[in-house]
Amino acid sequence: MFGIISHKLVASTAGGSPGQPILRAAVLAMMSNYSTATKQIMVREALNSALDEEMAADPTVFLMGEEVGEYEGAYKVSKGLLRKYGPQRVVDTPITEAIDHIINSAAKTNYMSAGNINVPIVFRGPNGPAAGVGAQHSQCYAAWYSSCPGLKVLAPYSSEDARGLLKTAIRDPDPVVFLENELLYGESFPVSDEVLDSSFCLPIGKAKIEKEGKDVTITAFSRMVGYALKAAEILEKEDLEAEVINLRSIRPLDRSLINNSVRKTNRLVTVEEGFPQHGVGAEICASVVEENFNYLDAPVERISGADAPMPYAANLERLALPQVEDVVRAARRACYRSVPTATTA
């Protein structure tokens, strides 16, 4: 379900279709480091609190989208907002496939107006594979949107990411596509008092090193960050130290942080749930090879979803998606801890 917040506008959509909005405007405050975690909150609670605080702070911010009002959001992200802010600022809309408005209007208006017109809107909603809902509701749009100049594309993993990035997106003067993972809404993550402060924001375009390591770099975003971290735990038992990077921002990519990590580890594994062709991992691999070829001690490795529509059957669905063991095997190959598959065929 996508929503829109704006200036200020936020749009939301409900099912996992390519486009419904959440919007809004302004620029960013940033805090990168955080103190010891003091509380656990779910991702949906982090998103809800970010929306609530930004709407309270700026009366020009409003939310519109499918089921965001009376139903309080398909995943209860907008719970309580209609009651608190009223139907003028929380607006239910018919289902709308809005990708044309995102790609051809929102993304290009600033350029085509010679910088005179900003489009402060956030398009937010579920992204990536869900569970048991078939091909039309289980796919990742990160590569689609991030290929379009004029858009900023964010993909949070944790509650800290969700809260800090959404607040920044709402304050940004340009269109932001905010991709939330449906299967993460009910996940709880530790957050600090600093993260819960109303001024807390995370900068767009900055990745986060979730775990430091020296042997192999693993990049991931959204739910795959958790898989990468689990893979890193397994690798650690084999005396392989993986550095796990949570991309957070898909466009712009934090190429500098990725490059610096690869120059340290000399190896790269990218992980995503999207399709392999023209994917986010493909872009990262190309960029790393262009910038760091002489630093690489092994071929880059890409882990992605299958190059096929999502099956409905649960057993086939699992085969179509990256698993922790896939990441582990790729890291082993990059570190020459296993024989490459091609040589054993």
Nearest-10 Cα torsion for 116, 117, 118, 121: 180
Say which of 53, 137, 236, 291 is annotated catalytic.
137
The CA distance from 216 to 298, in Å, is 10
Catalytic residue among 7, 45, 97, 243: 97
Establish whether 283 is a catalytic residue.
Answer: no
Spatial contact of 155 and 221, defined as CB atoms under 8 Å apart: yes
Query: 181 is written with which tokens?
Result: 């993972």
Cα 35 to Cα 166: distance, rounded to the nearest angstrom: 20
Pair 233, 327: CB distance under 8 Å:
no
> 324-334 and 224-236 are packed helices; what angle lies between their axes, rounded to 10 degrees?
50
Structure tokens at 90: 């929380």
User: Maximum CA pair distance of the chain?
Assistant: 64
Pairing status of strand 152-154 against strand 249-251? antiparallel
User: Catalytic residue at 233?
Assistant: no
- Give the C-alpha separation, 164 to 168, whole Å: 6
* C-alpha closest to that of 65 among 102, 43, 98: 98
The closest alpha carbon to 209, from 262, 159, 164, belongs to 262
Q: How far apart are CA 235 and CA 338, in angstroms?
A: 13
Residue in the structure block whose two tokens are 């529509």: 309
Cα separation of 44 and 168, whole Å?
17
H helices of the chain, in order, are 43-57, 81-85, 99-100, 109-112, 142-146, 159-171, 193-196, 224-236, 255-265, 280-292, 314-320, 324-334, 341-344
Rounded to 5°, the CA angle 301-146-330 comes to: 10
* Active site residue ranges: 97, 137
